[in-house]
């Protein structure tokens, strides 16, 4: 048996390493849990990973890194390997998917692909998608075709279409959305496979809908005949309540959903308290899932936290791949601001993008709104944005009190250098003179604490290639704040000065 303490140390080291490699804390924690060793075979530490997505996307590509850490924790004589997880192959059976004589690698996204293609070859040219997309051998294609066509004629409301502009190429990847992005890309590459359903959750305006459209657009591009249904849960409620219950056409509603190959459902949380709709959705979900059609769902909450949703639905959501999108960190916000500004032809310098990133903290929708304001201003005045004009717009958008910080790393460096009466070149330089080192450590620490700058960005702002210097500075400052009165005095004065600057802005 493996020692629990060693396992814990291994897990913690892994977590830290994956954060250093650029993953978010929650993803790194999840990965560290997933690769917990289960046994030792001779000189091999063996772990099994129950989640094929994380294994293929994040763990296997970094197996050398993991082995290095395993050697540090368990001894250099050990090697490390990931065994396939027992649930991997059984998962299909457990989830009552169609029994097929195929190995996991042979599972296709569209389970009836072979039937589909052979059927397609037999068909006469010029028929519709529904004609060609025969879901199973046993179903009567003719009745399906006729009824499906009827539905589109009788459907009073125009069905939603995919927004072509929301695709993978227009989505800005950053640390906070990397896992969700990769999961969506994997699903689009291989729909209907093991990541089913894919459940994306996170706060408003962080790109869940954008990713949903990206999946749909990508599959549509690769398989033009695929029947992709993008809906919000409110659309589903309308269909069930109005068309199904009030107009009495529930069969048509069911047909509409059961005929799709990919179901993309936005904002599932709005199904709460709608009991009849939840029952209907449960059956739709099961039917599509059993036919191994891809389902992607978004929500503002983790399934277990959605109130007033049936437990059996929640457990269906939990059986697939769950990925979250976190609010972007400072550095990510700067990247989003610069990319989006560029796209709309807005000219802003780094100082301005830092200023916006310091205020627009919660979501990308907010950032887009701000940039549109700036663009409008640019058109009206004929002048590119200045710090003053941006500050005025920021104050309008963020009523007094909500503007939390208007400093950037340059301001922090300046204040620290002034406080210690040293030159900026000494603060930024390599000298190990104690005064310079202390000043450098405090400036690095405050850049992290006050404006949330990421470690790598702080290192580069100080001209350091190696970000471990910043990690060292973080722990040094914490230690000195506890032990050293003079250090604490300097720190408090600098922090006070920076707080004053923030409040006066
Ligand atoms: N990473 C990103 N790259 C590019 N655009 C993004 C990104 N994240 C969000 N956006 C844009 O921000 C806007 C809001 O995103 P979206 O509608 O996808 O958010 P959401 O998470 O679905 O929000 P809600 O929960 O309110 O529906 C969209 O215009 C979207 O294109």
Per-residue pLDDT tens digits of the chain, which is 505 residues long: 466 666 777 888 888 888 777 677 777 888 888 888 888 888 888 888 877 778 887 888 888 889 888 887 777 788 888 887 655 543 433 433 333 333 333 223 333 333 333 333 333 233 222 222 222 332 322 222 223 333 333 344 566 789 999 999 999 998 889 999 999 999 999 998 768 999 999 999 999 999 999 999 999 999 999 999 999 999 999 999 988 988 899 999 999 999 999 999 999 999 988 888 999 999 999 999 999 999 999 999 999 999 999 999 999 999 889 999 999 888 889 899 999 999 999 999 888 888 888 888 888 999 999 999 999 988 888 889 998 888 888 888 876 544 444 678 888 998 999 999 999 889 998 899 999 999 999 999 999 888 878 888 888 888 887 888 899 999 999 899 888 989 988 998 898 888 777 765 5
CA distance 181 to 162: 18
Is 345 within any annotated ligand binding site? Answer: no
pLDDT at residue 496, as a whole number: 83
- CB-ligand 1 contact for 130 (6 Å cutoff): no
Q: Please determine, for the modelled complex, whether the ipTM score is greater than 0.95.
A: yes
Q: Is 121 exposed, middle or buried (0-12, 13-18, 19+ CB in 10 A)?
A: exposed
Give the pLDDT of residue 224.
Answer: 93
Planar angle of CA 184, 186, 188, nearest 5 degrees: 70
Residues with Cβ within 8 Å of 408's Cβ and at least 6 positions away in sequence, in order, are 351, 354, 355, 358, 451
Question: Quick check: CB of 171 below 6 Å from ligand 1?
Answer: yes
Q: Is the CB of 184 under 6 A from ligand 1?
A: no
At residue 130's C-alpha, the angle toward residues 129 and 135, to 5°, is: 115
Q: Which residue's C-alpha comes closest to atom 8 of ligand 1?
A: 207
382 is in an annotated binding site: no
* Residue owning the nearest CA to atom 26 of ligand 1: 204
Is any ligand 1 atom within 6 A of the Cβ of residue 204? yes
Q: Count other Cβ atoms within 10 Å, centred on residue 179.
A: 26
Residues in the chain: 505
**Whole-angstrom distance, CA of residue 499 vs CA of residue 505:** 10
Would you say 248 is a known binding-site residue? Answer: no
Return the best residue to mutate from 168, 210, 333 for the ligand 1 pocket (most ligand atoms within 8 A of CB): 210
Which atom of ligand 1 is the closest one to the Cα of 203? 25
CA-nearest residue, atom 10 of ligand 1: 207
Q: Retrieve residue 425's tokens.
A: 């070149």
Identify which of 182, 205, 213 to mutate to test ligand 1's pocket (most ligand atoms within 8 A of the CB).
205
- Residue 85 has a pLDDT of 65
State if residue 206 touches ligand 1 by the CB under 6 angstroms criterion: yes
Identify which of 177, 323, 365 to mutate to test ligand 1's pocket (most ligand atoms within 8 A of the CB): 365
- Token pair 């250090």: residue: 487
pLDDT at 149 (0 to 100): 33
What six digits make up the tokens of 410? 């340059």
pLDDT at site 154: 37
Owner of token pair 């405050």: 446
Spacing, Cα 173 to ligand 1 middle (Å): 12
- State in Å: Cα 368 to ligand 1 middle: 9
**Is 205 annotated as belonging to a binding site?**
yes
Q: Which residue has the tokens 């990206």?
A: 214
Tell me, in angstroms, the distance from the centre of ligand 1 to residue 65's CA. 33
172 pocket-lining for ligand 1 (C-beta < 6 Å): yes
User: What integer pLDDT is reported at residue 273 of this predicted model?
Assistant: 85
Domains within the chain, CATH numbers bracketed: 4-88 (3.30.300.180), 168-325 (3.40.50.300), 330-397 (1.10.8.60), 409-504 (1.10.1750.10)
Q: Is 108 helix (H, G, I), strand (E, B) or coil?
A: coil
Is residue 360 in contact with ligand 1, taking CB distance under 6 Å? no
Q: Which helix (H) or strand (E) holds 181?
A: helix 178-189
Sheet containing strand 294-299, edge to edge, reads: 228-232, 262-266, 294-299, 198-202, 321-325
């Amino acid at each position: 048996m493996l020692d629990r303490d060693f396992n814990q140390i291994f897990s913690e080291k892994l977590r830290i390493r994956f954060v250093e490699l650029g993953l978010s804390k929650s993803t790194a924690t999840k990965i560290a849990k997933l690769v917990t060793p289960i046994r030792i075979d001779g000189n091999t530490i063996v772990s099994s990973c129950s989640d094929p997505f994380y294994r293929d996307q994040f763990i296997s590509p970094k197996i050398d890194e993991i082995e290095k850490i395993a050697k540090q924790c368990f001894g250099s004589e050990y090697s490390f390997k990931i065994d396939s997880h027992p649930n991997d192959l059984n998962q299909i059976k457990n989830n009552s998917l169609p029994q097929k004589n195929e190995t996991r690698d042979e599972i296709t996204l569209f389970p009836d692909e072979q039937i589909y293609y052979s059927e397609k070859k037999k068909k006469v040219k010029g028929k519709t998608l529904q004609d060609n997309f025969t879901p199973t051998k046993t179903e009567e294609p003719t009745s399906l075709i006729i009824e499906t066509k009827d539905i589109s004629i009788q459907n009073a409301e125009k069905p939603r279409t995919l927004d072509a502009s929301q695709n993978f190429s227009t989505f800005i990847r950053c640390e906070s959305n990397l896992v969700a992005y990769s999961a969506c890309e994997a699903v689009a590459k291989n729909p209907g496979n093991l990541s089913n359903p894919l459940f994306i959750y996170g706060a408003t305006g962080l790109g869940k809908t954008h990713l949903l459209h990206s999946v749909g657009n990508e599959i549509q591009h690769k398989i033009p005949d695929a029947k992709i249904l993008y809906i919000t849960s409110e659309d589903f409620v309308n269909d069930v309540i109005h068309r199904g219950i009030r107009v009495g056409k529930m069969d048509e509603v069911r047909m509409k959903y059961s005929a799709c190959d990919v179901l993309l459902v936005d904002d599932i949380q709005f199904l709460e308290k709608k009991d009849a709709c939840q029952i209907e959705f449960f059956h739709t979900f099961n039917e599509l899932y059993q036919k191994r059609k891809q389902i992607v769902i978004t929500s503002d909450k983790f399934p277990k936290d959605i109130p007033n949703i049936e437990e059996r639905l929640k457990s269906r959501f939990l059986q697939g791949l769950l990925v979250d999108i976190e609010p972007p960190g400072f550095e990510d916000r700067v990247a989003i601001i610069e990319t989006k500004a560029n796209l709309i032809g807005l000219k802003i310098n780094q100082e301005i993008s830092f200023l916006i990133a310091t205020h627009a903290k919660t979501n990308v929708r907010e950032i887009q709104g701000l940039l549109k304001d700036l663009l409008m201003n640019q058109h009206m005045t004929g002048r590119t944005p200045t710090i003053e004009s941006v500050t005025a717009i920021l104050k309008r958008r963020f009523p007094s009190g909500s503007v939390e910080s208007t400093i950037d790393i340059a301001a922090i460096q300046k204040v620290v250098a002034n406080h210690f009466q040293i030159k900026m070149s000494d603060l930024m330089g390599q000298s190990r003179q104690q005064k310079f080192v202390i000043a450098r450590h405090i400036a690095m620490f405050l850049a992290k604490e006050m404006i949330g700058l990421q470690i790598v960005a702080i290192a580069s702002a100080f001209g350091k290639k190696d970000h471990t210097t910043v990690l060292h500075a973080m722990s040094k400052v914490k230690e000195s704040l506890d032990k050293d009165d003079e250090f604490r005095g300097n720190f408090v004065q600098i922090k006070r000065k920076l707080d004053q600057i923030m409040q006066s802005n």
